[in-house]
Structure formats: structure tokens, C-alpha cells
Structure 1
Amino acid sequence: MQIREFCSGIQLADEASRIVIDYQMKESEYIALKRQFKADRQAFFQLITGAERYRQKLLYLFTRFAIDAYEEYQVRNIPDHVYFDTFSDIRIWSEVCYRDYGEYGIEEYNWLQEHVQLRLFRLGRLQFQPIAVEDELKAGDWTVMKHQLVLNVHIPEGEALTPQAAAYSFSLARAFFRGIPPIFVCHSWLLYPGLKQILKPDSNILHFQQLFHIYEIDEASKEAEQRIFNRVAADPSEYGEETSLRRAAKAHLQAGGRLGRGSGIYVPESYL
């Protein structure tokens, strides 16, 4: 896997691709940084973020880390489309960086370390991450025991989360992670029950939420505001109204409502 092929495969923006392709770093430095990343990621990130133009450096490094991971994908016989879909998060977060900071690079570096260590995969519309739950979870009639292995679900930015797309992703995950029971957990603003107050009943978000048994709600979370408005404001009146979702969310917040975060469990009926 070469850098140009990788950039093309994840559809990285031209300007971002040029940053990666033209980046000047001696191979000896790259090898040393990769070793530090593997040995002590906290020290690695402290070192990198303390330098000028660190976001561009992280874009280059995570691209190289992703390219290095390709060999392991091949060893595991994971299809190329899963590889490129998984690492399309580099494109997504480089675009978020451009939106928030006016430059292509990577700011969400803690998140991307999961991808390059093959601990997270995108299968269709959704991302899945095998984890062992830290505490016993109870939702409805279902109990997940402490330390049980489950699949943590993440919803990347992008196309609509239709019921068909979600169902297809869950079916792909069941085939991909054959050694793990199809018990899916999700922690997201999309699972906040209060969204029923601002969304239409046929909303894709509500269809997705209804798959899960909600076992915990975080009323103080600002994740929904960050995702909907791309920022968190002290005064909801500062939020924009460019979309119907933003208008409804803003009105809800101004009326004293909350937009928190929910945690839930989904187990396909065929597995019960």
C-alpha cells in the first residue's frame, strides 16, 4: 500500500493529500515515533502536540500507521473495502479539523489510535469495537455480565442512518466478529430519549434508538449539541438554524429542555 493509493482509497481531500504526500520526515524519525506510539501513547501525543503544525504531522503519521496496518489486514484476510472504509475516519476527522481550525490535519488523535491497532472496524454505515464491559449491565430482560465481551457501536459522520443501512451493518458485524456474541452496546446522543420531543416519529435517529434497551441516561452531556451544532455554546440563542434539526434542537434548548446522552443494549431477536 502506497501513500497515493491510500489517500485515493479513503477519498482524502486534494489539499489534505498533498500535505501527506509532500510531508518531509526522515524514515529514522518515523520509525522512532512509531516505536514511541506503541510503547507510550500518552508521551507520544504530548510530544507531537507540543510542536508547531502538529495537526498536519498527526495526519501524516496516522496515514503511515494506517498503511503499515494494511499487512495485518491481509494476514487476516480482511477485504480491502473494509480497510478503506475503516480508515475513511482519517478523511472524516481531517475535514472536521478543517471546519474547526481552518486547516487539514488531525485533532481527534486519541480516537484514531483504535483504528491503527485493529481494535475498531467500519462495516457498512456503522463502526464496531470489541470491548469487555467494566460492570454488569441490565436493560429490559437482558443482562450483560461484568467482563463479558460485546461489540461497542459507533456512528461516524456521513450519510443518512437509515433502518436498512443499520440492519445491514449489524448483519455484517455478526459475520465479521464470529467469535463474539451479537450483543451490541452504544453510548451516544442518538440514544437520548428526549429526542422524541424534537424529531418526527419516522426519523432515522428514532428508528435506530428503538433498537436499543436504554439502561443509562446522562442529562449533563453536551455531545448532542456538539454533534448538531459543531460546537457548544453557553447560550442556546447563539446556535444556528440552518437545518430543521438545528431549529428544533435550538427551540427545545431555549425552552429549558435538555439534550443529553443515552447508553443502550441491542440484541437481535434471532439471537435471543
Structure 2
Amino acid sequence: MKTWREIAALLAFPKEALEELEIAANPNSEDLEALLNGDFQKQVTKLVNPHCWEAARESLKEVLQPDKSGLKMLLVMLTACGYTYEAYREKGIEDSIFVETMNCFPRFVNEHKVSYGNYGFDRDFWTERQLSMQLFRLGELEYEMCRQGEEKTISVHIPSDADISRDKVEVSFKLAQEFFETYYPEYAQAEYTCYSWLLSPALTELLPAHSRILEFQSFFEIEREDTNSNAVLEWVFKRKGNTLQELPEDTSLQKKMKAYLLSSGKVGEAFGRLHK
């Protein structure tokens, strides 16, 4: 099985982040004595099981304290990636899809650097989906298999580095269709849904009709809107908890959206279903 270092070498981690991971992995660190404990390893393997990941993650977080940067949890999740890699191989899924999917880890580390000025990891609540093979990146978009009772759906997620131009999105949807038909045929006919700030109807007031975001919206039939969501603070402004006056204006979208929010406008998020 691949070690966390071998997994990290496959992914797009910045050199400085890898150096900090090595410090966190120092076997002489008293904080990580628990890594040598057999019970701890059992919890790590549970991270790849969708039926018990949440309890395992909470247990691990408690054992890993103090872990202010989250890098010890990242180290544990990269270790769990070794088990996921073996599961990919058993199912016959290409290594390229594994790498594209697991590059969420360096992406989140880089986003933490942008938001807070240091490398860290605070998305452990999300990456369980990748570890348990419930979510895959196929082209520019991510696809999560969801089930409620007997109803199966595929939830579409938009990574922060995605190119959402029409051609790229169409290619991604085609890749997804082929992927699920091949590896998860029980989801081949599942409906595709999306819940994102990118679907917010308010964006039609802020963006030109030919913008990529509005083109992306056109793929979906928007059914409902949550105007109380503050998701744009994180995804557009890379900030949490800042006052509106403090929001950056580094891009044209940030400038327009900040002015809109300051004038009591609400962006929020919206839910839509992919047009058939």
C-alpha cells in the first residue's frame, strides 16, 4: 500500500506545504505518539467507509489535539488515501482520476494559505467523500453519489480551480456519464443536481450575459434559492467573518458584488437540476 509520502508525491502540493507536513509527521513528536497505536490505525481505515467516517473523524480529531493548523489531520487523511488508492485499483478506475480527485487536498491547503496567510487544512469534514469513493473529479467538475431512501442523485460540485466555460463543462458531463455507466451503473440514470452560489439568480444583476458563470447556470433548471447563505464570503472573497466594508476588491466580480452587498443586496445560493 502506498504511504502518505508516496500519495503526496502524486499530488500538486507546494514544496513549503510538504515541508510542514514532514514536521507534523516527525516520529519523535510527542503529539503524534498515537499514530503508532493500533486502535488509531483502525480509525484511519474507517475514514474510507461512508457508513462510519464521521464518527472516525471526530475520534481522530480528539486524539490529534492540539492540531491548530489541521496538518496532522491532513497527514492522517493522506494515509487513508493509501487504502482508497487500492480500492481504485480493485475497481479498475484509472490513476489519473485518482490524482485529479485527490488533488482536492493541495487545493484546500493553498486556499487556506490565501485566506489565512499560512498553510493549513480545515476541510476534513468534506474530504471524507473523496476518501470513501463517493465523490470523483471528472474533468473540471466533481460528482458525488447521493442516496436518500431509494432515490439516487448525483450532486455536481465546482472546484475553485475549475474552468466552467461551456465546452469544458460539456466535456465534464460527458466524462461523468461514461464514468458512472462503467463503474457505477446503478447511478447511470441518476439525476444531476447542484447547490451553489454560482446558481444564485442575483448574479444576473452583476454579470454580463456572456459570462462563464451565467453560461454555467444555463445548464440547470433553478428550483429554489437560499438568500441567507453567506457562501460567497468564502468562495468569492476568500474570507470568513469579515465585515462587508473589509472585503477585498481585487477582481471585477469582487468589486461589483461588494457594492451589491453593501447596498443590502443578497447573493446566497441556489439549487438546480440539470436540464435533460
Query: TM class, shorter-chain normalised?
Result: 0.7 to 0.9
Counterpart residue type for residue 226 of structure 1? E
- Aligned counterparts of 1:60 and 1:186: Cα–Cα separation in 2: 30
- Aligned counterparts of 1:163 and 1:127: Cα–Cα separation in 2: 16
Aligned pairs for 1:27-176 (under 5 A) are: 28=38, 30-35=40-45, 37=47, 39=52, 41-42=54-55, 44-45=57-58, 47-49=60-62, 51-53=65-67, 55-133=70-148, 147-176=150-179
Q: Residue 31 of structure 1 aligns to a residue in which SS?
A: helix
Q: Which moved more, 1:227-236 or 1:34-43?
A: 34-43
**Structure 2: which 5+ runs fail to align?**
28-34
Q: Residue 236 of structure 2 aligns to a residue in which SS?
A: helix
Shift of 1:114: 0.7
**What's the TM-score once normalised by structure 2's chain length?**
0.85
Q: Residue 195 of structure 2 aligns to a residue in which SS?
A: strand
**Structure 1: which 5+ runs fail to align?**
135-146
Instruction: Write out per-residue CA displacement over residues 64-119 of structure 1, whole angstroms, 9 at most, x where no aligned residue.
Output: 11122111100111001100000000111112233344443321111001111111
Counterpart residue type for residue 165 of structure 2? T
Counterpart residue type for residue 17 of structure 1? L
* Alignment-derived partner of residue 19 in structure 2: 18
Could you say if the C-alpha distance between residues 197 and 214 of structure 1 is closer, same or farther in structure 2, counting changes exceeding 3 Å?
same
Q: Residue 151 of structure 1 aligns to a residue in which SS?
A: strand
Which ranges of 4 or more aligned residues in structure 1 deviate by more than 6 Å?
none
- Aligned counterparts of 2:151 and 2:44: Cα–Cα separation in 1: 31
Could you say if the C-alpha distance between residues 221 and 65 of structure 1 is closer, same or farther in structure 2, counting changes exceeding 3 Å?
same
Q: Which moved more, 1:114-123 or 1:41-50?
A: 41-50
- Aligned counterparts of 1:133 and 1:33: Cα–Cα separation in 2: 26
Alignment RMSD (CA, Å): 2.2
Counterpart residue type for residue 58 of structure 1? M
- Residue 235 of structure 2: which of 227, 240, 256 is its match? 227
Note if 1:250 corresponds to 2:267: no
The answer to whether the 8 A contact 2:197-2:269 is kept is yes
Q: How many residue pairs were aligned?
A: 256
The answer to whether the 8 A contact 1:183-1:267 is kept is no
Instruction: Write out per-residue CA displacement over residues 137-186 of structure 1, whole angstroms, 9 at most, x where no aligned residue.
Output: xxxxxxxxxx4212100001114311111111100000011122152100
Counterpart residue type for residue 150 of structure 1? T
Instruction: Write out per-residue CA displacement over residues 185-235 of structure 1, whole angstroms, 9 at most, x where no aligned residue.
Output: 000000011100001111111000011001110011111222111124564
Note if 1:213 corresponds to 2:228: no
- Aligned counterparts of 2:211 and 2:190: Cα–Cα separation in 1: 25
- Aligned counterparts of 2:241 and 2:209: Cα–Cα separation in 1: 28
Could you say if the C-alpha distance between residues 167 and 95 of structure 1 is closer, same or farther in structure 2, counting changes exceeding 3 Å?
same
